[in-house]
Amino acid sequence: MRVVRIIGGGLRALFGKQRVERDLDEELRDYVESAVEHKMRAGMGREEAAREARMEMGSMEALKEEVREVGWETRIESFLQDLRYGLRMLSKNPSFTGVAVLALALGIGANTAMFSVIEAVLLRPLPYRYADEIVRVTSTWNRNGTLTSYTSSPPDFFDWRDQNRSFSSMFAYRTGEFALTGQGEAKRVRAVVATAGMFSTLQAEPLRGREFTAEENLKGANHVAILSYGLWQAAFGGAAEAIGKTIQLDSEPYTIIGVMPADFRFPLSDSDAYVPIGFDSQVMTQRGAHYLAVLGRLKRGVTLTQANDDLFAIMTELQKLYPDKDGKWGVRAQLWSTALVGEIRPALLVLLGAVGLVALIACANISNLLLARATVRHRELAMRRALGAGRLRLVRQMLTEGLQLAILAGGASLLLAHWALVSIVRFGPTDIPRLASVGLNGEVLAFTMSASIACAVLFGLIPALRSSALDAAGLVRTSISPSGESGRLRSALLVGEVALSMMLLAGAGLLVRSFMGLRSLSPGFDPGGLLTLSISVPDAHYKNSLAVQNYWEEVVAQLRGLPGVTSVAAVTPLPLSGDDWSSSFRVEGRSVPEKDEPSAELRWATPNYFRTMTIPLRKGRVFEDSDRLGAAHVLLISETAARMFFPGSDAIGQQVNFGANGGYEKNEGEIVGIVGDVHDFGVDAPVAPTFYVPLGQAGMDGATLVIRTEGLPAALGQPARKLVQGLDRDVLVGEPVPMERLVSGSLGQRRFYMMLLGGFAGLALVLAAVGLYGVISYSVAQRRQEMGIRVALGASGGQVVSMVMGQALRLAGLGLAMGLLLAMMLKSVLKGFLVGVSTTDPATLAVTALVLLIVAVLASYVPARRAAQVDPMAALRFE
Residues near another protein, by CB under 8 A: 6, 23-24, 26-28, 30-31, 33-35, 37-38, 56-58, 62-63, 66-67, 69-71, 74-75, 77, 385-390, 392-393, 472
Q: What is the distance between the alpha carbons of residues 315 and 594, in angstroms, rounded to a whole number?
A: 19
In the chain, the N- to C-terminal Cα span, in Å, equals 34
Degrees to nearest 5, angle at CA 11 with 6 and 16: 120
Q: What is the distance between the alpha carbons of residues 762 and 501, in angstroms, rounded to a whole number?
A: 9
Closest separation in Å from C-beta 393 to another protein: 7
Closest separation in Å from C-beta 395 to another protein: 12
- 40 versus 789: smaller Cβ distance to another protein: 40
Closest separation in Å from C-beta 80 to another protein: 11
- 65 versus 324: smaller Cβ distance to another protein: 65
- 41 versus 300: smaller Cβ distance to another protein: 41
Closest separation in Å from C-beta 37 to another protein: 7
Q: What is the distance between the alpha carbons of residues 582 and 562, in angstroms, rounded to a whole number?
A: 34
- 31 versus 158: smaller Cβ distance to another protein: 31
Q: What is the distance between the alpha carbons of residues 814 and 681, in angstroms, rounded to a whole number?
A: 45
Q: What is the distance between the alpha carbons of residues 612 and 384, in angstroms, rounded to a whole number?
A: 82
Q: Would you give the DSSP letter of residue 438?
A: -
Closest separation in Å from C-beta 426 to another protein: 55
User: 310, 170 in Cβ contact below 8 A?
Assistant: no
- The phi-psi region of residue 461 (left if phi > 0; otherwise alpha if psi is between -120 and 50; otherwise beta) is alpha
Amino acid in position 121: V
Give per-residue burial for 692-731: e unless 16+ CB within 10 Å, then b. bbbbbbbbbbbbbbbbbbeeebeebbeebbebbbeebebb
- 94 versus 388: smaller Cβ distance to another protein: 388
Closest separation in Å from C-beta 474 to another protein: 13
- 29 versus 328: smaller Cβ distance to another protein: 29
Q: What is the distance between the alpha carbons of residues 345 and 339, in angstroms, rounded to a whole number?
A: 10
Amino acid in position 228: S
- 389 versus 425: smaller Cβ distance to another protein: 389
- 34 versus 441: smaller Cβ distance to another protein: 34
Q: What is the distance between the alpha carbons of residues 398 and 402, in angstroms, rounded to a whole number?
A: 6
- Residue 491's contacts (CB-CB under 8 Å, 6 or more residues apart) are 775, 811
Report cis status (omega within 30 of 0) of the bond before 616. Answer: no
Closest separation in Å from C-beta 463 to another protein: 21
Amino acid in position 496: G
Q: Where does residue 44 rank: exposed (0-12), middle (13-18), buried (19+ CB within 10 A)?
A: middle
Q: How many residues does the chain have?
A: 879
- Residue 559's contacts (CB-CB under 8 Å, 6 or more residues apart) are 565, 568, 705, 707, 720, 723, 724
Closest separation in Å from C-beta 475 to another protein: 12
The kind and range of the H/E element at 109 are helix 94-118
Partner residues linked to 681 by β-bridges: none
- 70 versus 854: smaller Cβ distance to another protein: 70
- 26 versus 650: smaller Cβ distance to another protein: 26
Closest separation in Å from C-beta 375 to another protein: 22
- 70 versus 214: smaller Cβ distance to another protein: 70
Closest separation in Å from C-beta 83 to another protein: 15
Degrees to nearest 5, angle at CA 704 with 733 and 252: 45
- 58 versus 563: smaller Cβ distance to another protein: 58
Partner residues linked to 531 by β-bridges: 707, 738
Closest separation in Å from C-beta 45 to another protein: 18
Closest separation in Å from C-beta 387 to another protein: 6
3-state class of 574 per DSSP? coil
